[in-house]
Amino acid sequence: MLVYADNAATTKMSKLAIETMLPYFDNIYGNPSSLHSVGQEAKEALEAARKTVAECLGCEPREIYFTSGGSEADNQAIQSAAWFGARKGKKHIISTAFEHHAVLHTLEKLRKEGFEITLLDVKENHNVSAQQVKDAIREDTCLVTCMYANNEIGSVLPIGEIGAVCKAAGVPFHTDAVQAAGHLHIDVKAQNIDMLSLSAHKFHGPKGVGVLYARRGMPLVNVIEGGAQERGKRAGTENIAGICALAAALQDACSHIDENAAKVTAMRDKLIEGLSQIPHCALNGDPVNRLPGNVSFCFEGIEGESLLLYLDAMGISASSGSACTSGSLDPSHVLLAIGRVHDVAHGSLRLSLSHYNTMEEMDHILHCVPQVVQQLRNMSPVWRELQNGERTYIL
Ligand SMILES: *Cc1c(COP(=O)(O)O)cnc(C)c1O
């Protein structure tokens, strides 16, 4: 049995998304900037996709900018607010300690350019509160950027409340909604969101295409300079096939949000209940306000990477959450931010589900994970010390 449980990293494209793309590689190959009818056909498809995305988010089509993905949208949103803030002498930005690197690394760059960055603590409930945001806002705050839902531990932030706080204070609010779009209800107007990022490959669309929503009147600076595409705010010939597939996948996901969430939540809760029986473990992330498909645990006395390799051999694709992207052995910044100590953070496992998963697959996971954890513990010198009492358990 092959079980794909790494949907927070990327998702399998839906048949609908694949079929939506195909004509744009074949008959509808025009450049939307061309004035002739071949170009205009592509232009019509582009604008239809923009309208569809706007309907899904509750905004106007002219507030939608297509990008190369979530990372680019995050970069553009944050750089725009920073640039505009600096012009008014406001150089303070509020965010959270468990953002995606697309946000954190952009903020780090701004910090070196003289911006002051406040990263809100996420130890309480593995989440932030609107009150924390309110308390952090200053006269010189030019942006609040808080993710909608965390990609590693699944916490869903109180976005509507944070939006209301920002609106009352007159501070622009951006949210990285890459994990939320297509999975949770979003209404940018009702939630007072000024800018929002999303990415197609997290909701069964293609990789390399995303959206920046920017409320009308929000000033944008260009991350990519060149032609006048996307109302002059994002140069480059549009990825029409990707954009149309993004729109189709988002519409499909949004029109099945409740039924998919119910199905995925039932599988998630089965895994959380089953894995909680393993001794000396802890659930990561907000236990209540949580993404339907996220299961994240730390198991004391093991290495997450070994666990992953063993599970892969048993047909289960998961993630450790400890991003060794840089090749360093540092554990995940998210797990450290919620207060896990290094040793514990190294023993992490993230299983992220989609509506393509089945209950039989959950049974397989629940059969394999406890067995592999025990096997790894039996080989672990750390576990032996814990058992001997030479070391004290943390979990
Ligand atoms: C995947 C992800 C991103 C990056 O999106 P890309 O389209 O891969 O650039 C940003 N933020 C979060 C929360 C994500 O999960």
Per-residue pLDDT reduced to its tens digit, 86-140: 999 999 999 999 999 999 999 999 999 999 999 999 999 999 999 999 999 999 9
Nearest CA to ligand 1 atom 5: 70
Residue nearest atom 12 of ligand 1, based on CA coordinates: 178
Which residue reads 């993004």 in tokens? 246
Distance (Å) from CA 392 to ligand 1 centroid: 37
The ligand 1 site (C-beta within 6 Å) comprises: 69-71, 100, 102, 147, 151, 176, 178-179, 199, 202, 210
CA of 175 to the centre of ligand 1 (A): 12
Ligand 1, pocket-test mutation among 13, 176, 246, most atoms within 8 A of CB:
176
pLDDT at residue 125, rounded to an integer: 97
Best mutation site among 179, 223, 250 for ligand 1 pocket (most ligand atoms within 8 Å of CB) = 179
For residue 199, the CA-to-ligand 1 centroid distance in Å is 7
Q: Which atom of ligand 1 is nearest to the CA of 102?
A: 10
Segment 10-23 shows an average pLDDT of 98
Percent share of the chain, pLDDT over 70:
98
Q: Which residues of 283-299 are buried (b: 16+ CB within 10 A; e: fewer)?
A: bbbbeeebbbbbbbbbb
Best mutation site among 106, 174, 176, 178 for ligand 1, i.e. most ligand atoms within 8 A of its Cβ?
Answer: 178
**Of residues 322 and 178, more confidently modeled:** 178
Of 59, 146, 166, 324, which residue is the catalytic one? 324
Torsion of CA 190, 196, 201, 203, to 10 degrees: -10
Interval between CA 70 and ligand 1 midpoint (Å) = 5
- Counting from 1 in the atom list of ligand 1, the atom nearest the Cα of 200 is 7
Per-residue confidence band for 330, with pLDDT thresholds at 50, 70 and 90: confident
Model confidence over 35-87: pLDDT tens digits? 999 999 999 999 999 999 999 999 999 999 999 999 999 999 999 999 999 99
**Quick check: 229 pLDDT over 60?**
yes
Ligand 1 atom nearest the C-alpha of 210 is: 7
Please, which pLDDT band fits residue 327 given cuts at 50, 70 and 90? low
Instruction: Give me ligand 1 centre to Cα 88, in Å.
Output: 30
Q: Tell me how far apart the alpha carbons of residues 250 and 225 are, in angstroms, rounded to a whole number.
A: 28
Which numbered atom of ligand 1 lies nearest the CA of 149? 13
Take atom 6 of ligand 1 and give the residue whose Cα is closest.
Answer: 70
Q: How far is the CA of 259 from the centre of ligand 1 (A)?
A: 24
Distance between Cα 141 and ligand 1 center (Å): 25
96 CA distance to ligand 1 middle (Å): 16
Which residue's CA is the nearest one to ligand 1's atom 10?
Answer: 70
User: How large a percentage of the chain has pLDDT more than 90?
Assistant: 97
- Secondary structure (3-state) at 351: strand
Residue indicated by tokens 């049974």: 363
Give the model's confidence band at 328: pLDDT under 50 very low, under 70 low, under 90 confident, else very high: low
- The residue-averaged pLDDT of 300-329 equals 84
281 a catalytic residue: no
pLDDT at 230 exceeding the cut of 70 = yes
The ligand 1 atom nearest the CA atom of 74? 10
**Cβ atoms of 215 and 62 closer than 8 Å:** no
Helices then strands, counting H and E runs in the chain, come out as 13, 12
pLDDT of residue 326: 45
* Mean pLDDT computed over every residue of the chain: 96
Ligand 1 atom showing the smallest separation from residue 199 Cα: 7
Q: Which of 13, 98, 100, 352 to mutate to test the pocket of ligand 1 (most atoms within 8 A of CB)?
A: 100
* Helix residue spans in the chain (DSSP H): 15-21, 37-57, 70-87, 101-112, 130-136, 159-169, 240-255, 257-275, 304-313, 333-337, 342-345, 359-379, 381-388
**pLDDT reported for residue 323:** 53
Which DSSP state fits 25? G
Alpha carbon 383 to chain centroid, angstroms: 33
Q: What is the pLDDT of residue 322?
A: 55
